[in-house]
Amino acid sequence: MGIKYRLTVMNFLQFFVWGAWLISIGGYLGGTLHFTGSQIGGVFSTLGIASLFMPALMGIVADKWLNAEKVLGICHLTSAGMLLWASTITEPALFFWVMLFNSMFYMPTIALNNTVSYVVLEENGFNIVKDFPPIRVWGTIGFITAMWIVDLCGWKSSNAQLIFSAISTLMLGLYAFTMPKCPPQKSKNTGSLLSTLGLDALVLFKHKQMSIFFLFAMFLGVALQITNAFGGSFLESFKITHPDTFGVKHPILLLSISQISETLFILTIPFFLRRFGIKKVMLISIFAWVFRFGLFAIGDPGSGLGLLILSMIIYGMAFDFFNISGSLFVEKESPANIRASAQGLFIFMTNGLGSMIGGYCSGLVVEHFTQNGTSDWHHIWLSFAGYALVLGIIFPLVFKYKHDPKQLENIHH
């Protein structure tokens, strides 16, 4: 089996095991186990909590002591055990802690998967910039495939999705041990712990515009997990009013349009950045979140199905335009010696702090609009849309940045 094919299988499984539960578990927790909004939000906040420190710590292990492919395998095997345990739990507090431990071992594997891919490609004489993206796109395909399997097999409202993910993760963990060796790099340049954790980039907060940017990165990070956490529960709520509609029978298939859109909007980023600049592209992203949530507020699986589909399509713009344009802004504005750390800080603010705050706060909003077990989804989504709208109004007033197309051409990856 060719090495690029083996890496493709690894990347496919890396996100396949996540897609098996991430989008569907909210419906299972709310509809089957009857968790409250804040309890569901708490489960999703574990992704952010784990992202605050575990990727950096596991990165240190792989950099200094243990082969990256072995760290990847150990993390996946541990995650598989946590998922299997979670499938047996119906009590909210214990479920939270088990999923937190799962996140602590799964979230580092995203970076470790990239590390193993880069090292193996480089050792075999391939061009990483040219050859990795076609391999990595299979990760998104894996995520979508798992969503479809869970939906079509009828596992979206049961613990079967966690068992399915656990078995897949176990296979991936064992597979990781068969990958070519990726030993620790014996570098003489041993940076400080702050540097390793990406915190030496905190010096960027001395600059007003960078401080404003990172603050909004955190605020937008809040929006990232909201529909992952509650999209399934929202569609499940139409079982009584729209029982025979496609969106109710196959909510995860409907939600998967968001991920498909995400893969397509990535291709439009270069055009939009050259034409409008980073500030306007990020503003487009913010207002895309307004429409994403707003269309959820007025759509339904019946006559309003088109509005829901449009919301799914807009998600790709909302997600990609912020994440990619934000990363490019950090790359361009950061001094060369702390660019990697600055990217780590960007992830820390969005996927760490932002997702953690978003998980908890969105749960409280859902709980506020839930009476006697029935959620007022119209006002829930309007609240989230209003939040994004406020960000969209304030952002261009406080973030001063002039677009220079020539500067973008100087960014190398």
Q: What is the CA radius of gyration of the chain?
A: 21
**HSE (CB half, 13 Å, CA atoms) of 234?**
27
Instruction: Report pLDDT for 197.
Output: 56
CA count, 13 A, side-chain hemisphere, 122: 9
Whole-number Å distance between alpha carbons of 178 and 78: 17
pLDDT of residue 48: 86
Residue 371 β-bridge partners: 374
pLDDT of residue 388: 95
Distance, in Å, from the CA atom of 211 to the CA atom of 202, rounded to the nearest integer, reads 9
Q: Is the dihedral of CA 308, 312, 317, 323 positive or negative?
A: positive
pLDDT at 7 (0 to 100): 94
- pLDDT under 70: residue ranges of the chain: 1, 129, 185-201, 331, 336-341, 343-344, 403-413
pLDDT, residue 284, reads 94
The full set of domains in the chain, from first to last, is 1-183 (1.20.1250.20), 199-413 (1.20.1250.20)
